[in-house]
Amino acid sequence: MIDKSLRWVDDRLGVAKGGRTFLDKIFPDHWSFMLGEIALYSFVVLLATGVFLTLYYVPSAKEVIYHGSYLPLRGQRVSEAYASTIGLSFDVKSGLLMRQAHHWAADIFLGSIAVHMARVFFTGAFRKPRELNWVVGVSMLLLGILNGFLGYSLPDDLVSGTGIRIAYSILESIPIVGSYIAFFLFGGNYPGNGIIIPRFFIIHVLIIPAIIVGLLAAHLGLLVKQKHTQFPGKGRTEHNVVGSPMFPTFMAKTTGFMFMTTATIFLLAGFAQINPIWQFGPYQPYQISYAVQPDWYMGWLDGALRIMPSWEFVGWGHTWPLEVFLPAVLFPGIVFNLFFAWPFLEAKLTKDRAYHNLLDRPRDRPKRTAAGASVFMLLFMVFCASSTDVLANFFNVPLQSVLITFRIIVIVLPILTFFVTYQICKELQGYEAAGKRKHPVVVTLTPEGEYRTTEMAPHPGDGHEEIEPIPVPTFINLVPPELATGSGVRRVMR
C-alpha cells in the first residue's frame, strides 16, 4: 500500500531519495536541543487558537452599549473590540479557554525563545556557518515581542489601553519625525480616530504572523541544510552528527513533546486566569489603574522608563524628550542591534573564521559567557524595575527608595556579574572532571579494616552511550537470525 502510493508520487515528483535521506536525518539527543521546539509548538498553538479568536473578535473602536451576560458592565458604553472580547470570553463555548490559551502560549512562546537563544549563545552555536540562522532567530524574537504587544492591545481594556497611550508617547518622543509617525499611525492626536484597533489587528493577525511563518521556514530549512551542532563526546567530530534518526525515534519524542507543550498551555489556560479584562473594564483615556504593567516580555522597556532620570533636553527651539527616547527607543535599539551583530562581532574580536559544528562548554569561553550573563543580568534587573510599586508594597518600603535602588543596581550588578561569571568559568575550567562522564566508585572494607576504592563501569542505564555510532540502517533484517535459511539471505517484510 505504502509502496504503491510512494511509487505514484515518486513517478511524478521524485521524492524517494530526498525523503529517505530526510527520514535518516540525525537529531542530537541532548535535552537542551529541545528548547526551540517549545517555541515552535507554542507557535502552532498560537496559530490555531488565534484563528478561533478571529471568528468572534470585532476589530472596531466603534462605541456600543454592552448587553452581554457579564452583569457589572451591562449598559456601559464600550468599544466593539472590548464588547466582542468579553463576548467570546463569556458567551462563546470554550471561548475563554481559547483566549487564555492564546495568551499563555504567547507568554511561553517568547519565554522559550529566550531560553533557546541563551542555549545557542552560551554554547557558541551561532558561529560560522550558522550566523544567518541566528539573525533569523533574533528577527523572530523581535517580531514576536512586537506582535505580543499588539495582541495584548486588541481587547481595548483599561490596562492595554494605557499601554497604547504609552506607545503613542514613545513614538512622539522620536526627534524630528516623532509626532508625524504618531499622527500617521493613529490617524490624529491621541486617541486618534479609532483606526488604531483595526490597524493593530491586521498587523497582528496577518502581516507579522506571515513574516514569522516565513522566517520559521527559513530557520528550519537552514537547520536541515546545515545540520545540527553537537556537544563533544564519544564518536562526535566536527564532520558528523550523532543522535537519533528523524524516523521513528525523534519523531515520536517530538510528537510527544508537542502534545505535552500543548497540554501545559491548556492546563494553564483553564486554571491560571490571565488578563481578566472584564475586571479591568473598558479603556477610557481619562481613567487609570495603579499597578499596571505590560506582559513580561515588554516589562524590560517599562522598567527602563521607570528608572530613567528626567533628562529632557530643550534647545535650538526644540524639545528632546530623552527621558523617553533613551530608555524606550535607543536602549532596545542597542540591545537588538547587539543581538543581531554578535556573531560577526565575536568573529571579528576572536579572529575566528573557521567552521564550528562542535559546541563550546560555556566555561571554556569565559569572556563570552561573562558578557552574556552580564547582558542577561541587565535585562533581568530592568525587567524587575517594572514592578517597583509592587515590590515597594510587598516589602513595605518607600517607593522612592526602591526606584533609587534600581537605578544603582542596573549599573552595578551587570558589571559585577561580568567579573563573577568570568571568575567562576575560570575556576570550573581548572576542575578537571567537571562535565565528563562519571564512573561509580565502590568503596570496600577489607577484613584487615582497610578501605579500598574501585572505579566501576558506567551506570548500565546509559550504557548505550558507549557504543560506537553507526549510520542509520536503511534495511533491517526483520527475520530473527536463528530463523534465517542461509547466510546472506535477507528478507524484507512488506
Partner 1 sequence: MSDESPQLTGALPVAALDDPHLQPYAAHPERVNAVAVLSMVVGFLGFIGFGITFWISDQVQWEAATLGVGLFGLGFGVAAWGKYLMPQGPFVEERHDFHSTEAERDAMSAAVLERGGIVVKRRKVLGGLFALGAGTFGVVAAFPLIRSLGPKPGRALFTTNWKKDSLLVSLEGRPVKVSDLDVGGVLTVFPKGFEGSSPDQTILIRLADIAPGEPPFPLAPPGRSDWTVRGYVAYSKMCTHLGCPVGLYQEQTQQLVCPCHQSIFNVVAGAIPEFGPAPRPLPQLPLKVDAQGFLRSQAGYDQPVGPGFWERP
Partner 2 sequence: MRRLLRARLLVPAGVAAGVAAAGLLTFTPAAQAGTAPSGSSSSASSLHASTASASVAPTTSGAAGSASAKAAGINPVTLPSSYIAPGEALFAANCASCHGTDAVGTSRAPNLQGLGAGTIDFWVSTGRMPLADPTEQAVRKPPRFNALQTLEIAAYVQSFTPGVGVPIYHVNLSQANLAQGQSLFTLNCAACHTITGAGDALADGAFAPSLHVATPTQIIEAIRTGPGNMPHFSAGNITNAQARDIVAYVHEVIQHPTNRGGFGLGGNGPVAEGFVALLIGVGGLLLVAFWIGERA
| Binding status of residue 71 toward partner 2 by CB under 8 A | yes
DSSP letter (8 states) at residue 445: E
Least gap, CB of 69 to partner 1 (angstroms): 11
Q: Mask of contacts with partner 2, 443-472, x by CB under 8 A? A: -------------------x--x-------
Binding region for partner 1 (CB under 8 A) out of 90-98, 361-369, 375-383, 409-417: 90-98
Vertex 325 angle, CA 329 and 319, to 5°: 150
Looking at the Cβ atoms of 43 and 278, the one nearer to partner 2 is 278
Binding-site member from 60, 173, 387, 417 for partner 1 (CB under 8 A): 173
**DSSP structural state of residue 160:** H
Q: Is 392 a binder of partner 2 (CB under 8 A)? A: yes
Minimum gap (Å) between residue 392 Cβ and partner 1: 9
By CB under 8 A, the residues from 82 to 121 that bind partner 2 are: 89-91, 96, 100, 104, 107-108, 111-112, 115
Indicate whether 257 belongs to the interface with partner 2 (CB under 8 A): yes
Residue among 5, 65, 217, 227 at smallest CA distance from 130: 227
Q: What single DSSP character describes residue 454? A: E
Say if CB 141 and CB 113 are below 8 A apart: yes
CA–CA gap between residue 232 and residue 357 (Å, rounded): 9
Binders of partner 2 among residues 215 to 254 (CB under 8 A) are 231, 233, 253
Does residue 70 bind partner 2 (CB under 8 A)?
Answer: yes
Contact of 221 with 230, CB cutoff 8 Å: no
Regarding 250 and contact with partner 1 (CB under 8 A), the answer is yes
Applying CB under 8 A, the span of 54-62, 116-124, 238-246, 430-438 interacting with partner 1 comes to 238-246
d(CA 328, CA 342): 21
Name the one range near partner 1 by CB under 8 A: 206-214, 340-348, 427-435, 460-468.
460-468
126-155: which residues touch partner 1 (CB under 8 A)?
129
Q: How far apart are CA 155 and CA 95, in angstroms?
A: 14
Considering only residues 142 to 201 of the shown chain, the ones binding partner 2 according to CB under 8 A are 158-159
Q: Which stretch binds partner 2 (CB under 8 A): 282-290, 319-327, 367-375, 473-481?
A: 282-290
Measured CA angle at 33 (ends 29, 35), to 5 deg: 135
Q: Are 268 and 45 in contact (CB under 8 A)?
A: no
* SS3 label, residue 157: strand
Query: 476 to each of 24, 27, 386, 473, 491, how far by Cα in Å?
Result: 14, 20, 59, 7, 9
- CA 131 distance to own-chain centroid: 18
Site residues (CB under 8 A) for partner 1, limited to 393-422: 399-400, 403
Cβ proximity of 81 and 59 under 8 Å: yes
Q: Does 88 bind partner 1 (CB under 8 A)?
A: no
Which residue number, 179 or 400, has a Cβ lying nearer to partner 2? 400
Q: Which is nearer to partner 1, 176 or 441 (CB)?
A: 176
Amino acid in the structure at residue 247: F
Q: Indicate the residue among 75 and 449 with the shorter CB distance to partner 1.
A: 75
